[in-house]
Structure 1
Amino acid sequence: MDAERLIGVTRQALAASGEAWDVIAEAWQAQALAQAIGDRLALSGPPELRGEARELGETGGRGGGLPDAREAGGGGPGASGPGPEVFGSEVWWGAGTRARQLSSVPDARGALTGLAELLGEVGIALVAVACATDEEGLYWQCIEAIDAADEAGDRVAGLLRRLVAQEQERERKEARERQRQQETERERERQRNHERRRGR
């Protein structure tokens, strides 16, 4: 599945999260996706992005994995309390992260723009959970995930700035080349007119 489609799926899942722990889980899904996109761009993305893309992959990797709800004091696999009908989702109980489905990043700018929006939405959702909870474990899970999302978001913003700057530079070069060609053609036309006048 390409990057923009996976980002869209993750945004929908985040919006549909009905429980605090589902929001936490979707936050780590977003982190895993940021890592996967960074790694893919570092290998096969635009050359000017590869160094910073590698840093994005490392940033996403530092986010860790899906949180252990038992340590955090909430429900989850094997924990006492609510079962999977409350806390369960494909994130918690499934085979792994959606990021494993990433097949390509055909549009780097589109993917990075979507990823920036996703990470922003993750931060907003986590702040809401942190402000609403009285559970210390859940609160600190939110803080950790907020820090990770902020760091990844900063990396994505840097990649977008570099990409936009490179695109603008290419556009300026193309504009200068068009202007040069137009001036050359005008000069040739002047020479042709001059030759015609001399031949009369």
Structure 2
Amino acid sequence: MDAVRLIVTGRRALAGSKGVPEMMTEVWQAQALAQAIGSRLAVFGPPELRGEALGLTELAGRGCGVLDTPDLAVGALRAAQLTELGDARQALMQLGGLLGDVGIALVGMASGADDEATYWQCMEAIDAADESRDRVLEMLRRLADRDEVVPEAG
């Protein structure tokens, strides 16, 4: 499945999740998808994005690592369903939106956390999602710089 379809599916699932365990699962899924997209961009993406894509892979991996790994049914891991990136710019724009949604969900969960462990888990995941989103925005900036046409003097 292409990246944009998976991201849209993830955004819908996050928006429709009920309760902390389901939301945490969707946050983890989003970070795993960001990690997979970063890996794919690092290998197959435009050369000017490869360094930032590696950074995204690491940061999103950290985002998964600070959260408890969800117990997913076979075939339910969206990141494993990624078969193609499609248009890198569109995928990154959508991924930036998903990571923004993740941050908002995590803030809500942190503010309503019943225990300190959940609170700190959310805070660390907020940092990872925010830094991942920063990488995505930097890649979008690099794509815009690459595509910027400088008029010839004459």
Q: TM-score, normalised by structure 2?
A: 0.90
Q: Distance in 1 between matches of 2:89 and 2:33?
A: 15
Match of 1:163 in 2: 143
Does 2:106 correspond to 1:126?
yes
Matched pairs, number: 153
CA deviation string 1:91-128 (max 9, x = no partner): 53313621010001110000000000000011011111
Amino acid at match of 1:2: D
Q: Any gaps of 5 or more consecutive residues in structure 1?
A: 70-90, 181-200
Q: Distance in 2 between matches of 1:130 and 1:8?
A: 24
Moved more, 128-137 or 154-163: 128-137
Match of 1:11 in 2: 11
Q: TM-score, normalised by structure 1?
A: 0.71
Amino acid at match of 1:131: S
Q: Any gaps of 5 or more consecutive residues in structure 2?
A: none
Spell out the pairing of 1:20-169 with structure 2 (5 A cutoff). 20-65=20-65, 67-68=67-68, 92-95=71-74, 97-168=77-148
Moved more, 30-39 or 139-148: 139-148
Amino acid at match of 1:36: A
Q: Distance in 2 between matches of 1:132 and 1:38?
A: 31
CA deviation string 1:28-81 (max 9, x = no partner): 111111111111011111121112112211221222348338xxxxxxxxxxxx
- Runs of 4+ in structure 1 off by over 6 angstroms are none
Residue identity (%): 54
Q: Distance in 2 between matches of 1:98 and 1:117?
A: 17
- Larger relative contact order (C-alpha < 8 A, sep ≥ 6)? 2
Amino acid at match of 2:73: G
Amino acid at match of 1:68: D
Amino acid at match of 2:89: R
Moved more, 18-27 or 112-121: 18-27
State the Cα RMSD in Å: 1.9
Contact 1:113/1:160 (8 A) holds in 2: yes
Q: Distance in 1 between matches of 2:106 and 2:18?
A: 13
Q: Distance in 2 between matches of 1:108 and 1:24?
A: 27
Contact 1:43/1:50 (8 A) holds in 2: yes
What is the CA-CA distance between 1:156 and the residue it aligns to? 0.7
